[in-house]
């Protein structure tokens, strides 16, 4: 039969282990958010660069009178 003191010790060990896992997961999430933030900034910069290059590469359409004028 399991004694109440043993049950309490078991619960305390589980609680400590769960606290450790929660802390590790929290650290991983914080690191992932940093990576996501860096990637978002790079994506924004690349999008802006792409749009600028796209505008520069468009041919200028000259304003001319049609031949029948």
Query: In whole angstroms, what is the distance from residue 69 CA to residue 66 CA?
Result: 6
Q: Which of 12, 15, 34, 11 is nearest to 23 (CA)?
A: 15
Pull the structure tokens for residue 61: 């359409």
Q: What is the mean pLDDT of residues 37-55?
A: 95
Instruction: Tell me the mean pLDDT in the region 35-57.
Output: 95
The whole-number pLDDT of residue 2 equals 60
Mean pLDDT of the chain: 90
The span from the CA of 46 to the CA of 40, in Å, is 10
């Amino acid at each position: 039969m399991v004694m109440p003191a043993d049950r309490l010790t078991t619960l305390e060990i589980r609680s400590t282990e769960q606290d450790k896992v929660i802390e590790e997961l929290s650290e991983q999430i914080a690191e992932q958010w940093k990576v996501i933030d860096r990637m978002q900034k790079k994506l924004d910069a690349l999008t802006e660069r792409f749009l600028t290059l796209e505008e520069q590469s468009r041919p200028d359409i000259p304003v001319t009178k049609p031949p029948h004028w």
